[in-house]
A and B are shown apart, each in its own frame.
Chain A
């Protein structure tokens, strides 16, 4: 799918198409500079001139839990991206992490499709 095709899609489908093409993109309002995630048709202040920009991919753990089940455990984290927006994700390489820890995004292929996951950078929290 080309970029032109993606621009005709709604925000959710466009995000997923970018991800399928190997790009972690988030929205930014041209007029206000606000970042928006998860993808929508308007910013919280009503700006609709949203454009897709590549996420820096760096962020901080805002909250984290480890879901424990008989089949195994997996963490679920809320990551605050350096752009100031928050997303749900996971850190597949570790059991858990400290709140405030610095993380970096990568795209992981799964049976259900690509998803953005994070790894600890090893930097100290800001």
Chain B
């Protein structure tokens, strides 16, 4: 089986979100269930047709078991790969492999969280690292702040550049009625936000919201028989070097520098073919790091690249068009929402923020403390 043999072999035929923002009174599984039911309806299949389940959450030790019972499924294949927020980009690859191998016919990829209304804090089952504990890091922000400090020292990246990332995200969110943080935002407001972990302030941090998402994948030949416009899997790849930020080989280069080329090679595309880049912006530095590592600008130039509205609405590169984790939604693990926006853009359902002729979207998921990096490429039929 060669790598490019997976290109175009599966398609997302149903996609839905639920409880984006605040969903008081609902549990994480109830929100996940709502998203799954809506995704099934969107796909034009039945719940009972699902025979492949892919799930990861921050609150279920055995997420596929919990999902299977809650939805009353009897899958023959299931995979609870948990690589944090990047899980769902990996699930797209796993689901495609399982579909292509005939291990399942209808795959559900799903996530749900009520972390905002349940406590307003980032919920995590992530265990402390014993060699870090004596120094009281406040992960994830401490780790991302350490990476930012290094990027600034090595490449001259400025807090103003980070602010440009936050402002671009808000610009997109203001075009998205589903986004949680909407409204005017000035550079002065961003620059004067409360410092949390130098050099990252509150404005550099993703939201803490509720939210669930789900998508349905089938083999490409079957996708044509279903009512909606299929969004094809074109390629995906992962790379992972570390768990603790202590062990990250170079704090200014993430493993996206390997996962991105892997995914793009499988998809047979290059950066210039990407119409929308959805990169996991848990913190403002992420967008800068991933634009560099995925090859949209040279290493070290990310801070300058995001200046002057280049990634804001109307800019040269459409990045995080839903408003991102910074201004749209971030319920703990954000990876499936990258996919939701890519699907909306490729289907042409993104309303005011729609990118013209959007045929190829890159989704880049990040998990842990810049640890697991998984890139997935989605495309329209025209892109195949």
A-to-B contact residues, CB < 8 Å: 12, 38-39, 62-69, 74, 76, 78, 86-90, 96, 99-100, 110, 112-113, 115
Contacts and interface: CB of A to CB of B under 8 A. Distances in A.
B138 A67 contact: yes
A38 B131 CA distance: 7
B246 A38 contact: yes
B150 A62 contact: yes
Interface of B: 130-138, 142, 145-150, 153, 194-200, 244-247, 251
A64 B146 contact: yes
B246 A86 contact: yes
Given A65-B145, A65-B146, A78 B130 contact: no
Contact of A96 (B132, B138, B198): B198
Given A67-B136, A115-B134, A88 B246 contact: yes
Contacts of A12: 130-131
A17 to B, nearest CB: 14
A78 B247 CA distance: 10
A88 B131 contact: yes
Given A39-B131, A67-B142, 20 more contacts: A38-B247, A63-B149, A63-B251, A64-B146, A65-B146, A65-B197, A67-B137, A67-B138, A68-B194, A74-B136, A76-B146, A78-B245, A78-B246, A87-B131, A87-B246, A88-B245, A89-B135, A90-B135, A99-B150, A100-B153
Contacts of B145: 65
B147 to A, nearest CB: 7
Contacts of B251: 62-63, 78
Q: What 5 pairs across the A-B complex have the smallest Cβ distances? A: A65-B145, A115-B134, A38-B131, A99-B153, A63-B146
B246 A68 contact: no
Contacts of A76: 135-137, 142, 146
B134 A68 contact: no
A74 B197 CA distance: 10
A65 B142 contact: yes
Contacts of B137: 67, 76, 88
B198 A68 contact: yes
Q: Give the residue among B133, B135, B153 with the most A Cβ atoms within 10 A.
A: B135
Contacts of B200: 65
A78 B250 CA distance: 12
Contact of B134 (A62, A65, A100, A113): A113
A67, A86, A96, A100, most chain B CB atoms within 10 A? A67
Contact of A68 (B196, B244, B245): B196
Contacts of A88: 131-132, 135, 137, 244-246
A76 B147 CA distance: 12
A66 B134 contact: no
Contacts of B153: 63, 99-100
A72 to B, nearest CB: 11
Nearest to A74: B136
Nearest to A86: B246
Nearest to B246: A88
Contacts of A39: 131
Contacts of B244: 88
7 contacts: A62-B150, A65-B199, A66-B195, A68-B195, A78-B146, A86-B246, A89-B135
Interface centre among A69, A76, A112 (most CB of B within 10 A): A76
Contacts of B132: 88
A38 B135 CA distance: 14
B196 A63 contact: no
A100 B138 CA distance: 23
Contacts of A74: 136
B362 to A, nearest CB: 28
**Residue from B134, B142, B146 having most chain A Cβ neighbours under 10 A:** B134
Nearest to B137: A76
Contacts of A115: 134-135
Nearest to A96: B198
Nearest to B252: A63
Most buried by B among A62, A65, A100: A65
Contacts of B150: 62-63, 99
A69 B150 CA distance: 22
A87 B132 CA distance: 8
